[in-house]
Structure 1
Amino acid sequence: MTSFDGLPPLRDVIERHGLVAKKSLGQNFLLDLNLTSKIARLAGDLSKCDVLEVGPGPGGLTRGLLAEGARKVLAVEKDSRAIAALDEISAIYPGRLEVLNADALEIDPLERLTPPVRIIANLPYNIGTELLVRWLTPPSWPPYWSSLTLMFQREVAERIVAQPGSKKYGRLAILSQWRTRANIVMELPPEAFTPPPKIHSAVVHFEALPKARFEADPKVLERIVAAGFNQRRKMLRASLKGAAPEIEDRLNAAGIKPTDRAEQISVEGWCALAREVAKT
């Protein structure tokens, strides 16, 4: 039995190519092509975009992206076992799929993509957060991508959209909400994957804003936010003591009480503090 694109069902592809998911690579494969096509549609119109996909595995989401009209897909896969299966997809969509056997943390995708670019991926669990932070903190803004549509563990997704005062509010929420509009657009149970993970998953869609919501030096902001949340139970005058001289004066100048804790401060407040610290 073949699927809508003439390719075999993904379970057959996995069996034929020996693609048993590796825990060391953070692999959990999404095999339902209806779901992968839905994720592709959640990213918006792909017909005039190049797409970067990280960790395609046997190519379920890759097939959805191409079937939904992506101009080109650059599929970056570290696991060499999956390359033959991805090459079979490339043959069905000539000139529209480039498969790169590489570590996504070590490549410059812009060398192979033409803007506008959307990043759409069921990210490997072990590198998902690191990749997100890199995409949110490029040297200049706006970034090379116009949107991110990314699958995470649901706990990570909830941290991205968390609001001040929440225990889940932290570095990821601030970096995401400072420069993008981020929303959870889909949730998936463990049984949607092979093998089923122990946790639920969620898709977050990020739209890059033309400019950051509030002025701040990205490096300074990231540094003080990391310091504040590394000791989130402490008052800011203590957790940020080593971040800048006369930190209480700088907190006051930013309109922040030195006795507040990191999770109480809004994105605007953190940016105001970053501006004060940058005056050092």
Structure 2
Amino acid sequence: MRYTPPNLPQFYVTAPQPCPYLDGQIERKLFTALQGGDSQRLNDALSAQGFRRSQNVLYRPSCVDCSACLSARIRVADFAPSRSQRRIIRKNGDLDRAGTSPWATEDQYMLFRRYLDRRHADGGMADMDMFEFAAMIEETPVRSRVIEYTDAEGALTATCLTDVLSDGVSMVYSFFDPDATSRSLGTYLILDHIEIAREAGLPYVYLGYWVPGSQKMAYKARFRPLEIYLKGQWQDLTDPANVATGPQPVQMDRIQDQVAAIQLPDGNV
């Protein structure tokens, strides 16, 4: 179904489907297309309101009876790594980082396939072929970079597709060598993106969605200070165990009201 306030981007709602994070829940997304010369500003504005990018689409959960998926970002200026995180940084000190334009390579795809086969063999991306992978990397109408990490022998060890926003960097999708378990590469990529944002003078690292009750997403709460987008505003995550986001259908705004509340780049509502 389409929802279009006058003279504003068109917003749509996906058909309901099983939630990939919480058993027994049904997922639905509100989304709009990124197109035209204003794509970067729209990405900036909607990312700051809990939206995420996938190729040329911006989306945000809009489930009927659950609000558990919360956009999360790290406040860079106040972040200090824990003792275990400092060990991970030292352990990966041999990796070289290089940022490139969003262009898919065979090495990336081979690493991506190994990562999926070992970590997410039953996930929604498990059957992605080289052409679909290339579309994920290359079909971006905004400022994006592919951050590659190579070891001392020059072997590609990790990759992250990263958007550069006006107020931070957004980790769109990352994958890494599934055999290098001792490196804790998933954690390291986040820690290094904090450093990337700090070097660029950007205040936030956007991590996607944190989902209380989902083991898949529990790791994000280990990066403090972490802010979550809850009830229309960013707020500190102080106690992950006490975030009330369970089924609450009477509290969910109508789609029309959700769309009307979105702040667009020109300042109109």
User: TM-score normalised to the size of structure 2?
Assistant: 0.28
User: Which structure is higher in strand share?
Assistant: 2
User: Which structure is higher in helix share?
Assistant: 1
